[in-house]
Amino acid sequence: MKDRRIKHGVYKLMKRLKRGELDGRSTPAKFLQEIRQLILDDLGGPSNLTNRQYILLDTILLPQLLFYRTMAEYAMTQGNKIIDEEGNLIGCLGHNFLAYGENIRRNLERLYQWGKNSDMDWRLKLAQAMQNIEGN
């Protein structure tokens, strides 16, 4: 019987991240450094962040962004194979991928403190943040 598990490397990468084993010169580590700096700049620099925002950024949001990016990159390498024989998306683009996207959106809202009483519509702020992330 053929092994049908998808080998995208995301879970191994996340284990390395949790253990602090990412070399600062590696592509994932550079991605995290760049995104972190972009978000810090968006929020007015490190001195403007609360401890809560730092915890949210470093322990929750950055790993989620890395996971999401790695899954998306894997899917892009699959070409026309992202839909299986039964017409379903490949496993890595299923429930977990969509859930991570939604969690990232909610955590960006929390980090940027977008709420009902904000001075600008949160959708516009989210679009601006995503443009900054995609710009690199």
5 in a domain, yes or no?
A: no
> Residue 67: is it exposed, middle or buried by C-beta count within 10 angstroms (0-12/13-18/19+)?
buried
The model's pLDDT over 74-87, given as tens digits with 9 standing for 90+, comes to: 877 877 677 777 87
* CA-CA-CA-CA dihedral for 133, 105, 36, 96, to nearest 10: -100
- Locate 37 and state its tokens: 């700096």
pTM for this entry: 0.70
The model's pLDDT over 5-30, given as tens digits with 9 standing for 90+, comes to: 556 677 777 777 777 777 777 788 88
50 in a domain, yes or no?
A: yes
106 in a domain, yes or no?
A: yes
Domain count, the chain: 1
